[in-house]
Copies of this chain bind each other. A is one copy, B any other.
Amino acid sequence: MRRSRDLVRPALVEAVGRLHPWTGEMAAYGLGWADTAGTPDPGGSEGKGVRQALAVLGAEAVGADGADAVPGAVAVELVHTFSLLHDDIMDDDALRRQRPAVWKAYGTGPAVLTGDALLAQAVASLAEVPGPRTAAAVRCLCATLTALVSGQAEDLRFEDRPWSGPGAVEPEQYRSMAEHKTGALLGCALALGAILGGAPDRTVAILDRAGRHLGLAFQAVDDILGIWGDPATTGKPVHADLRQGKKTYPVLVAMAGGSRSAYALETLLTSGRRIDGATAEHVAALVEEAGGRTATREEARRHLDAARRALREAALTRSAAQELDVLFTHLLDRTW
């Protein structure tokens, strides 16, 4: 990931530099490059750069130079930052990577505007690539933007739906949301690398699919950590997702099980009682007893396997395919 960051960074800096200075300053804060005073932030608030690495490896995997993927890498990093900025507003999340979210630091209006600026610049980065693949690359990004918005809409709507009975969120609906919200952009990163690297449509589609499965596996791990993760590692309070009443896969799949624990879980969650402290501990235990943790592990494993199978299915250069495989494993290699 460091290699791709070094490769992509100059173009990313240039893209942010093309924004209006004020939105550029907020974008630099949102990217973790600077604090609110605009001074460089060495505190490691920067994202890991997973998406740009996937784009670069996507190009290399189809036998092209990683540098060919740079406009795609820039686009996916900017879209990722855009979605963090806007999602934090919608989800009322005041913290992002242990710092105030952009809307908290600069105000809601300016954060909306900066997200818009990033989105426009993301599309521009791709549209300016000369050559016959430009339209295909822009279409790929557009499909992902539509998926991201749908995923966020689904997620926001889940909040208003009941835990059980008619209208309850089904595990399959959760999976669809996660594919839109997390999988689509990872798939797009790999696909853009392949498109810009000149790969045939079939290879592009397979890499897109690999990235989607990776995203679903990643989300499943995230959901496990959101309940059972160590606050020292996750940076979030213990049982964070349960306290927020989030309808995540482990809980949904546990409730769908029909066991006695599932029934106890349903009774507790539909009681309207506030979930904190000892109650959260109890809910977590019930979810685990009802098989929610195991089923989510299996979900993650299944999608990681599917992602790897996809890599083997496409005719990829060996070294890049190996690097992708290592990256996939590394991404999921958190204590879950």
Give residues in A with beta carbon < 8 Å to B. Answer: 18-20, 22-23, 86, 89-92, 108-110, 112-113, 115-117, 119-121, 123-124, 127-128, 134-135, 138-139, 142-143, 145-146, 148-150, 152-154, 156-157
Contact = CB atoms under 8 A, between A and B. Distances in A.
A120 B145 CA distance: 6
A138 B139 CA distance: 10
A139 B135 contact: no
B108 A150 contact: no
Nearest to A152: B113
Nearest to A126: B138
Given A112-B90, A127-B135, A154-B20, A119 B117 contact: no
Which one of A127, A145, A146, A157 has the highest number of Cβ atoms from chain B below 10 Å of its Cβ? A127
B127 A146 contact: no
Given A89-B109, A89-B112, A109-B89, A127 B142 contact: yes
A177 to B, nearest CB: 11
Oligomeric state, in number of copies?
2
A274 B223 CA distance: 52
A23 B22 CA distance: 29
A23 B123 contact: no
A15 to B, nearest CB: 11
A146 B119 contact: no
Contact of A146 (B18, B91, B108, B115): B18
8 contacts: A20-B150, A20-B154, A86-B112, A86-B113, A110-B156, A116-B119, A116-B148, A134-B138
Contacts of A19: 146, 149
A19 B148 CA distance: 11
Which one of A90, A128, A134, A153 has the highest number of Cβ atoms from chain B below 10 Å of its Cβ? A153
Contacts of A143: 124
B120 A149 contact: yes
A18 B139 CA distance: 15
A120 B153 CA distance: 14
Nearest to A124: B142
A128 B134 CA distance: 12
B153 A23 contact: yes
B149 A123 contact: no
A149 B86 contact: no
Given A90-B112, A112-B86, A153-B20, A138 B146 contact: no
A262 to B, nearest CB: 29
A152 to B, nearest CB: 6
A149 B112 contact: no
A108 B88 CA distance: 12
A275 B145 CA distance: 44
